Structures are given as C-alpha cells and as structure tokens.
Amino acid sequence: MAALGTAVVLWAAAGCNGYNEVLKSTDSEYKLERAIGFIDSSQCYGALMVLEDLMNLTRGTSQGREVQYHHARAQNCLGDYYLARYYFKQFARTYPDDPRSELAQFEAAMCSYRLSPNPNLDQSETRTAIEELQLFMDRYPGSPMRDSCQTLIGNLRNKLERKSFETARLYHHTEQYKSATIALHQALKDYPDSPYREEMQWLIVDSHYQYAQQSTERRKLERYNEAIEAFLTFVARYPESRFMARAQRIYDASVAEVARLTETTPSESL
C-alpha cells in the first residue's frame, strides 16, 4: 500500500509537469525523451504510462528497442521488481548485441537481490538471486560489476546461513530436540565457517541432553552417552566458551545418569 501511495504521488507530480500533454502527443521521439526524464527525476508512474503507450506505437520499429529498455527501467523505478526482472531479461534476450544487454542482465539479477526476503521467511528468492548473480559473472567475467556481484552473493549467503541457524534454533526452542540435532549438524556441515558455530555446538549438547531426559528408560543410556560425546566435542573446540558453565552442568548430570543406569539396569543397556 505504501508503494501504491508513492506511485499515486509520483503520477500526480508527473501530471503537474506536463504529463497529460506528453501522453496526448503523437511525437514518439518527444514522448520517449520525456519518459526518460520522468525516470531520471523519479516520476516513475508517469514514465511507465508514457512508455506503455509508446510500446504500442513503436512495436516493430527501430525505436522499439529504446522503449523496451526504458520500460524495464520504469518498472524498476516503480519498485515492481518482478516485472522489472522480466522485462530486463526480455530485453537482453531480444537484443543480445546491444551495448546495454550486460547492464540489463545485471539489473535483472539486482531485482532478484531486492526480492530476497528477511531471513525468517522462505529463501527461494535468495537462492534465485545467488544463481542469477553467479550466472552473470560466468557470462561476463570481465564485467566492472563483478566485484559488486561477489559482495551481493556474500550478503545473500549470509542470509541463508542465518536462516539455517534460526530454523535449527527454532526446533530447539520448541523442544523438538531430535530434529534440532539433525538440523544443527546439517547447518554446521553447510556453513563450516558460520559465525553461529559456537552457539550451534552448544545447542547440540543441550539438545542431546534434553532428548535423553525425554526418553524411555531403555533409551536413556545411549542418549546420555551421546550428550557426553557432544560435550567433549564442544569443549575441545570452544574451551573458553560463554556456554561452558551450562555445558559442564549437562556433562556432569549426564555422567551421573550413565553411572546410575549402568548400575541399576545393566541388562537393559546391552
């Protein structure tokens, strides 16, 4: 709704600057020039209306190429990144030899980047953006936009990393401890240099312990041993961890439980 309100304001601004006059004109060169001016001055809606009118007038003509390119720009200016991505790609496919084809493909990938949502939402668009930025670099290895692409891909991967961590942590928070250990191990495998690695290792320790506590007597011995193994891995990697006091309590409790279970139910531990 905010974007729509902005579009209406921009449309009104375009009207005050001769929008109606431009739209009524039959001079396509004049209309294109004014439409480009509208984009450059962020009068996005006015530009889009003029360019959509021009698309009908210039279809199949030499001017059609210019109209198509700036039509994609107008969609991008308006913030409609789905349509902008579509039209930038269409321009690059239709005019692969145009000097702006490279920029159009980069802008299409940028639209995907802008469509990438917050880490707590589905990350399909994030993966699409990574693929498109990588494809752009493969197609244009000498592009001056290459460094920007690498930075953007890094940002997107950080978002996927955060999503993976948050999903695993949510399993722990909702007491789905078996699922938490699986998700946490997978996140560590996928992102071995994750800045969340220490916390994930701690959550693995706690998840194993909590899962053991929830288990039947027949399965407790095995699962407390898994908690002990997880602690030993944790302490070897993060001996000065801020989670160490809690992890140590879990280790001590797990050792005590293993001793109790071994002493009282030796036959069931086989």
Domain with residue 238: its CATH number is 1.25.40.10
Q: Distance of alpha carbon 204 from its chain centroid, rounded?
A: 25
Cβ atoms of 93 and 69 within 8 Å: the answer is: no
In tens, the pLDDT along 86-95 reads 999 999 999 9
Structure tokens at 267: 């036959």
pLDDT recorded at residue 4? 42
pTM for the structure as a whole: 0.80
Task: Please enumerate in sequence order all residues whose Cβ is within 8 A of that of 265, keeping only pairs 6 or more positions apart, or say none.
Answer: 217, 221
Q: Is 57 part of any domain?
A: yes
Tokens matching residue 52: 């959509």
Structural domain range at position 231:
175-270
Q: For the chain, how big is the Rg over CA atoms in Å?
A: 29
Q: Tell me which residue of 250, 182, 183 sits closest to 210, measured CA to CA.
A: 250
Q: Model confidence over 93-115: pLDDT tens digits?
A: 999 999 999 999 999 999 999 99
117 found inside a domain: no
Structure token pair of residue 258: 């293993």
What pLDDT does 74 receive? 97
Summarize pLDDT for 9-56 with one digit per residue, the tens. Answer: 544 544 545 677 787 787 889 999 999 999 999 999 999 999 999 988
In a domain, 221, yes or no: yes
Q: Is residue 167 part of a domain?
A: no
Asked whether residue 254 carries a pLDDT value surpassing 70, the answer given is: yes
Residue 13, number of CB atoms within 10 A of its CB: 17
Choose one of 18, 44, 79: the last residue of a domain: 79
**Residues near 39 by Cβ (< 8 Å), separated by ≥ 6?**
47, 70, 73, 74, 77
DSSP secondary structure of 176-208: -HHHHHHHHHHHHHH-TT-TTHHHHHHHHHHHH
**Under 8 Å between Cβ of 55 and 65:** no
How many other CB atoms are there within 10 angstroms of residue 134's CB atom? Answer: 14
User: At which residue do the structure tokens 């997107």 appear?
Assistant: 156
268, 217 Cβ separation under 8 angstroms: yes
pLDDT of residue 270 exceeding 50, the answer is no
Q: What is the mean pLDDT of residues 225-233?
A: 97
Q: Does residue 159 lie in a domain region?
A: no
Indicate the number of domains in the chain. Answer: 2
Q: What is the pLDDT of residue 20?
A: 77
Please check whether residue 252 lies inside any domain of the structure: yes
Q: Mean pLDDT score of the chain, rounded to an integer?
A: 90
Query: Is 247 within the bounds of a domain?
Result: yes
Q: How far apart are CA 25 and CA 36, in angstroms?
A: 15
What is the C-alpha separation between 85 and 107, in angstroms, rounded? 7
Q: Domain for residue 5, yes or no?
A: yes
CA atoms within 13 A on the CB side of 28: 16
Q: Are 75 and 48 in contact (CB under 8 A)?
A: yes
For the record, the structure tokens of 157 come out as 């991967």
pLDDT at 207 over 80: yes
Last residue of a domain, one of 52, 79, 106: 79
Is residue 45 within 8 Å of 11, Cβ to Cβ? yes
Task: From 79, 99, 121, give the residue that closes a domain.
Answer: 79
Per-residue confidence band for 265, with pLDDT thresholds at 50, 70 and 90: low
d(CA 165, CA 269): 34
Q: For position 18, what pLDDT does the model report?
A: 66
